[in-house]
Amino acid sequence: MRTLNSRQWHLQPSRLLPRDAMRREGPLLPMIVLLVVNVAGTVRSLIHIFAPDSGAQSIASMDVHVAGGANIVFLLAEWGGAQLLEAFLIWLVLWRYRGLVPLMLLVVTAELALRQLVGFIKPVVSAYPPPGGVADQFLLPVVAIALLASLLVRRSR
């Protein structure tokens, strides 16, 4: 039976920047997690860019019919552009440079953690919690575990 005891497994941070970025090492699960997260991230970015209200009111229940509401819509659309760029890079990694999956999981983990921190420091005011914020609370530990799994290496005997 396989177990995760420290004598059999160790973290290998060098997998974050492998010598051969085209060669994937380690379990398949971290790549699947990154794929699922990136599908959601791509859809989210396109909504922010192309929805008339950037999803602010129609999805996140933020009132954009206030002074400065157009600025809220603009900033979310601009953020969608940054999200789309990140999603494109992740698609590239998943397609061609699979050895960089751990690095992309680190980026996604850091981004999710920063979003949680920002949400704590500057809480959003809306009729109900935005679905992206709720999903991020679930995704952060899942992506962090996938990151750790991508860095785990079985010790040779």
Could you identify the residue written with the tokens 């704590």?
A: 120
Question: What local confidence, expressed as pLDDT, does residue 143 receive?
Answer: 98
HEC readout, 61-121 = CCCCCCCCHHHHHHHHHHHHHHHHHHHHHHHHHHHCCHHHHHHHHHHHHHHHHHHHHHHHH
pLDDT confidence bin for 131, thresholds 50/70/90: confident
Question: What local confidence, expressed as pLDDT, does residue 23 receive?
Answer: 94
Average pLDDT, the chain: 92
Q: Amino acid identity of 106?
A: L
Question: What local confidence, expressed as pLDDT, does residue 94 receive?
Answer: 98
Domain ranges of the chain: 17-154
| Averaged pLDDT, 66-88 | 96
Cα separation, 157 vs 150, whole angstroms = 20
Cα separation, 39 vs 140, whole angstroms = 16
Under DSSP, the state recorded for 14 is G
Question: What local confidence, expressed as pLDDT, does residue 124 receive?
Answer: 84
Question: What local confidence, expressed as pLDDT, does residue 5 receive?
Answer: 61
pLDDT digits (tens, 9 = 90+) for 5-44: 666 888 999 999 999 999 998 899 999 999 999 999 999 9
pTM exceeds 0.85, yes or no: yes
Q: Return all residues near 63 (Cβ < 8 A) that are at least 6 apart.
A: 57, 69, 126
